[in-house]
Amino acid sequence: MKTVKHILSNKPSVVYSATREVSVLEALKIMMEKNISALLIIENGLLQGIFTERDYARKIILQGKSSKDTPLHEVMTQNPHTITPDEAIDYCMKLMTTRHFRHLPVVENGLVIGMLSIGDLVKYIIEDQQQTINQLENYINS
């Protein structure tokens, strides 16, 4: 069974985060600089929430709020669903699809150790399928 550990082992171990009082504008700058579409909100080492491009569109732009004057805690998704490194990749795909998540924080022993995106899952599944195809072709040709 393939698990989240397999995906995380091929990703940089950096977790980008901000605190609750950071402005939405500052969070967007971090997201732009790091080329990411979600930012974790961590206080005292504990996950408090997640801020995504979707949150920005729905809770700032459409509500007419100011990115400069709005702190993240007002618009972040609080207590996001998390997964462990031992979760099956199939389970994560099903969870993201049914709940319409694009990002899942990975938590181990109460600490965030990574972030799994829908893109990470799709990339991994494509690579895994290609490996299976190559193995089958080698078997048939031998």
CATH numbers and ranges of domains, the chain: 4-141 (3.10.580.10)
Nearest to 130 by CA among 119, 122, 118: 122
Q: How far apart are alpha carbons 74 and 24 in whole angstroms? A: 9
Q: What is the pTM of this model?
A: 0.88
Tokens, residue 59: 């809770």
Looking at the predicted structure, is the pLDDT value of residue 12 above 90?
no
pLDDT at position 40 is 98
Looking at the predicted structure, is the pLDDT value of residue 128 above 90?
no
Tokens, residue 117: 């995106």
The residue among 2 and 71 whose pLDDT is bigger is: 71
pLDDT at position 1 is 74
**Share above pLDDT 70 across residues of the chain, in percent, rounded to a whole number:** 100
